[in-house]
Amino acid sequence: MNLIPNIPAKAFSFSAVVVGYLLIDDLTANEQNALGNWLMLTAQILCTNAFYKQVQQERNVSSINNQANPNRTKDQNIEMLEKMVNALNKEIENLRYEK
């Protein structure tokens, strides 16, 4: 299933603006709020799923790197874990401020 069109990023973003403006006149304020919240929840699920897939891919690459380089230092492992924690903290902060 290919929902994402193969168009420039600016055109893709602009299409969301157009759809949003088209929906404004046909919906009450409560309907706009309900639909907007539903779309934001859907977007958060997509972002969370994509982020988790990235973490899994990073872990797989890390695992391969560790197997290829068993002499990786403790400091290098700690640095990689800190990067993962920072990425998770950033995502948590983004979720906090989107309320």
Over the stretch 22-32, which tens digit does the pLDDT of each residue have?
988 889 999 99
CB 65 within 8 A of CB 72: yes
Contact partners, residue 27, CB within 8 Å, separation at least 6: 35
Q: pLDDT of 37-80, one tens digit each?
A: 999 999 999 999 999 999 988 888 877 766 656 666 788 888 88
Task: Please tell me the predicted confidence (pLDDT) of residue 99.
Answer: 59
Q: What does the alpha-carbon distance between residue 66 and residue 72 come to, in Å, rounded to a whole number?
A: 7
pTM score of the predicted model: 0.52
Largest CA-CA distance found in the chain, in angstroms, rounded: 63
